[in-house]
Amino acid sequence: AKPSVLKENNEIQKKHVSCYVDDGPVYYLQDRSGNLELVFAPGFDKLPALLTGMVLGFVGKLTTRARFECCDVVFPSPLKNQSYVLEGSADRVLIASNCMINRGNIEKLKVIADYCRDKIKALILIGDNFGTSE
């Protein structure tokens, strides 16, 4: 009897396939030269949520050519901002960006201007505010 391709295909589907991916998260350190798998030392439990694109420092050692064992994570400190309080003033400032002021929307902008006329002390326009009329 000639072997059946369909029968062979059914036997292949019955085989159990194990998953190559672990259920736990996998972290990588990446720069222009390549990437390393980041593993954490036994007992290290101070790990908060890590997200792609975070700028962090890692303390540890390179255990293999492609694996870094971390024993501590260093987070950047927040920038120091100089704060100030407006004393004796209830004036309001309106900051608007990309308003696209043109002949096509001037009526809509007049409504906003009338609403803000007595409510703001200063208007600051940022970005591309003047566009071509359509």
79 in a domain, yes or no? no
Domain count, the chain: 2
Helix (H) or strand (E) holding 17: none
At 12 the pLDDT is: 59
Place of tokens 């694109």: 53
**Quick check: helix, strand or coil at residue 13?**
helix
- Say whether both 58 and 92 belong to one domain: no
94-107 average pLDDT score = 80
- Say whether both 93 and 49 belong to one domain: no
- Say whether both 49 and 90 belong to one domain: no
Query: Of 11-15, 45-49, 65-69, 73-77, which gets the smallest average pLDDT?
Result: 11-15
3-17 average pLDDT score = 61
- Say whether both 70 and 14 belong to one domain: yes
At 6 the pLDDT is: 60
**Quick check: helix, strand or coil at residue 44?**
coil
99-123 average pLDDT score = 81
Domain limits for position 60: 5-74
- Say whether both 96 and 128 belong to one domain: yes
At 11 the pLDDT is: 61
The answer, as to whether pTM is greater than 0.85, is no
